[in-house]
Every structure is written in structure tokens, then in C-alpha cells.
Amino acid sequence: MSEKKEPLVIQETPGEKHYCTCKNTSTPPYCDGSHPGTGCEPHKMTIETEQEVKICTCGFSANTPFCDGSHYNC
């Protein structure tokens, strides 16, 4: 039986964000510096206004780091 993936829904605050892409972080969805040697780099972006965001956890979104609904096909 496979585990169904769902996006991580958070109320994001304004500022520069470094979202984890290697899945080794201990502080999801943010980078904690665990990526060296994985071939991954954090997804860096600036959030302008406080807003609810849905962070992809399945790895299939075409709009990373955000969920695009692709997890329904997992």
C-alpha cells in the first residue's frame, strides 16, 4: 500500500525563502543546509505578502516549490 502525498499547507510570511528540494531537511519546507552532496540546491524565492502557500511534497509538481495538483496522479 503506497502512502498518499499531500502538499504542506503553511501561512507564509514575507521575506526571502529557501525551500528544501533534497528532502533531507529537519525543518521542512525550509532548507537547513543538509543538501551538500545530494546534487540539489534550495529553491530560493521572495514572498512579497503574507499568504497561504501549498508546498509540493510528492516531487511531481511542474511549478516547484508549489503544489500544482500532480499528487492526485501519484
Query: What residues make contact with ligand FES under the rule CB under 6 A?
Result: 5, 7, 56-58, 60-61, 67-71
Judged by beta carbon, residue 40 or residue 58, the one nearer ligand FES is 58
Rank residues 37 and 52 by Cβ distance to ligand FES and give the closer one: 52
Closest CA to 9 of 25, 74, 71: 71
Q: Which is nearer to ligand FES, 7 or 42 (CB)?
A: 7
Nearest distance, CB of residue 56 and ligand FES, angstroms = 3
Buried b (16+ CB within 10 A) or exposed e, 7-40: beeeebeeeebbbbbbebbeeebebeebbeeeee
